[in-house]
Homo-oligomer: A and B are copies of this chain.
Amino acid sequence: MLLTVLDYAGIAVFAATGALAASRKQLDLIGFLFFAAVTGLGGGTLRDLVLGLSPVFWVADPTHIIVCVLIGLFLFFTAHRVESRYRLLIWLDAVGLAAYSVLGAAKGLAATGSPTIAIIMGALTATFGGIMRDLIAHEPSVLLRPEIYITAALAGACGFTAGQALGMPAYASSACGVVIAFALRGGAIHYGWTLPRYKPRPGRNPEDSLKKRER
């Protein structure tokens, strides 16, 4: 039951981010539905394929598609009322990331029993829909931005998996994972949290070398 809630919550908010991306591209209604479906269902589709669960979840139960269609339809007529569509997209994406990191980890753990696979599946489910959305919309991938993103999904999946390993009840480890992932990603959006980035060696810059020689 809890996982079903996370499932539909994740699909709905990711579908909404897809529809908002379509609104930024000024697409037609079918474009809204397409982006809603790709973003809402993409992560879970790759997860099921890779785990060998066949057919994938939305073929087994088309309700998921109907959720994407309703969300796309709703936003086609209401997206213009939102003050900052990009800001809404980013925050909904954070909610979806939190829900899917736990859901993916739960499905990975159920299918394989391996904590490593559970954590990877959490991160993969939470990020792949957004990657596809940005690729097809020709926007720079959210992965290349400096703020914490995959890290939040990994942390949420770790939180859930650790909770399960410690014998916590499912709702507690799920809540634990969702809170960790959302707190990290939300903090990254609001406060600009980043991890230390790779910096090329000082002096690698050709102009710097030139200046040194001139001295």
Which positions in A face B, CB cutoff 8 Å?
22-23, 25-32, 34, 37, 45, 49-52, 54-56, 59, 62, 65-66, 76, 79-81, 111-112, 114, 116-117, 120, 131, 135-138, 140-141, 143-144, 146, 148, 150-151, 154, 194-201, 204
Contacts of A144 in B (CB 8 A): 25, 27, 31, 137-138
Assembly CA distance A65 to B118 (angstroms): 12
Contacts of A45 in B (CB 8 A): 50
Q: Are B80 and A32 in contact (CB under 8 A)?
A: no
Say which residue of B28, B81, B196 sits within 8 Å of A194 (CB atoms): B28
Q: Are B23 and A55 in contact (CB under 8 A)?
A: no
Assembly CA distance A138 to B143 (angstroms): 11
Assembly CA distance A114 to B58 (angstroms): 12
Q: Are A23 and B62 in contact (CB under 8 A)?
A: no
Assembly CA distance A187 to B1 (angstroms): 47
Contacts of A59 in B (CB 8 A): 50-52, 112, 117
Contacts of A80 in B (CB 8 A): 198-201, 204
Contacts of A31 in B (CB 8 A): 143-144, 150
Assembly CA distance A23 to B201 (angstroms): 11
Q: Distance in Å from the Cβ of A54 to the closest Cβ of chain B?
A: 3
